[in-house]
Structure 1
């Protein structure tokens, strides 16, 4: 296979995960196995319905055979864990349970889900939304504890860290943590990155890494937008934190550029990251 990454990039690739929608895996599997990429496999509802246990086991076997670490990202479109409609909550928990049925197959290092909270629609009944949501998260966290696999909640539309703080305050478990998506924070929240970090660093287990200019969730390579990655890595270094870094390029050609941008920031900040495998 023609070399795709420089030696320095390949070193960094041993320290991060790369997001990979499972529907695109056939296209990129050869490259993943060749470079032994660690991947965050993303599932949508259609894959959970369509893919058999045999198919999933075949995928997992190929990745494990090359010592590729796996994390999972669950479905999120149209799901709302705190919805006032019990049928929507039922669908939401059903999709999450489908994902959890794959954990014995993939043996992921952690699982990322969205809350489904949208302040444009849910702000007026926030308390009821939280109570409804808790009825879903509590049994899922128990299940995650039994499997020894952390369950992480990612920020999307939330305007500030308060909702996540309350959820983590209600469920105190080392297997329940936060995934900071810096692209979502920068384009959707309107609350400074430093505020999110100060509020949730104690439960921070993963960071989704991509860039934008603040106007939309563009998933650009690191350095192409205006996210303050120097602030981020200085903060992590000061607290000796090394959460899992997952790069989320939406175009194949953006991955090398994002790796280069991430290397520049980490070098400038003097941060060292552990080799994952």
Structure 2
């Protein structure tokens, strides 16, 4: 008997949860809350927003995650004072996870296109990325372990996915795993000569905890509805089907009114449900 098609969830700000509640609940779809990554929210009274999410999602049995903070910093800053700021932001994100019963938080990869061309230009550059990232995240990863949260390291400007996988390996913790954003991978493929999107999935392998599903054209970070760009979706879902586990698969669209359009496309090709 063939394996059932994977169930797709969505990334949504808290105010949009009620609009998509019936769809989310019908198959207990995975959800990523995207209202808690901005500094003003984390430094403000976000508890009311968390309480609202909990009320709307009462009775939902799918997996909950959040997108963690990322604006204005990297996890491998050369400045030790900035690394402490980033550490604090990540801890604030874990506070939110605790409040909304989230078991996954997306964080961003340190690797850039510039790194791809320059890591071997200055001796020691590869080791410094790892050293600074450990200094930033060591306590965060330990708290995530204790809290039962997976930190999913998402490709942003990564050209070589193996670098990010090797970085995760150095932590030797199930609390730090990988996320693949399909649109980011397509951008790197089209603009920087990176591997195609399905290769990113294959490379992540057993470490893949989470996938952002968005379509793109290889030129910009479009977050289009599935089918509007030029990602070869059958190859992506074949790579997902080859895994021995079920990562969270979440639509991350700029326009959430196109969730239905995306699902129609995936169902028409018999790729997902």
Number of equivalences? 252
1:77-88 to structure 2, matched below 5 A, reads 77-88=71-82
Residues 179-222 of structure 1, C-alpha deviations (whole Å, 9 max, x = no match): 11011001025322343233211201111001011111111111
- 1:139 counterpart = 2:144: no
Distance 2:136 2:168 in 1: 13
Residue equivalent to 2:162: 162
Question: More deviation in 245-254 or 207-216?
Answer: 245-254
TM-aligned CA distance change 1:52 to 1:181, over 3 Å: closer
Residue 263 of structure 1 is matched in structure 2 by 267
Instruction: Give the Cα separation in 2 of the matches to 1:195 and 1:30.
Output: 36
Please show how residues 203-222 of structure 1 align to structure 2 within 5 Å: 203-222=207-226
**CA-to-partner distance for each residue in 1:146-195, whole Å, 9 max, x for gaps?**
11121110000111113212212211222221111011001025322343
Q: Distance in 1 between matches of 2:58 and 2:83?
A: 37
Aligned residue for 1:163, secondary structure, equals helix
Can you give the 5+ residue segments of structure 2 that lack an aligned partner in the other structure?
none
Conservation of the 8 A alpha-carbon contact between 2:9 and 2:251: yes
Query: Contact 2:11–2:251 at 8 Å: present in 1 too?
Result: yes
The unaligned stretches of length 5 or more in structure 1 are: 1-11
1:191 aligns with 2:191: no
> Structure 1 CA distance, aligned partners of 2:33 and 2:144?
18
1:18 touches 1:39 (CA, 8 Å); kept in 2? yes
Correspondences of 1:1-277 after superposition (within 5 Å): 15-21=7-13, 25-26=14-15, 28-36=16-24, 38-42=30-34, 43-53=37-47, 55-67=48-60, 69=62, 70-120=64-114, 123=119, 124=122, 125-189=125-189, 190-192=193-195, 193-265=197-269, 267=270
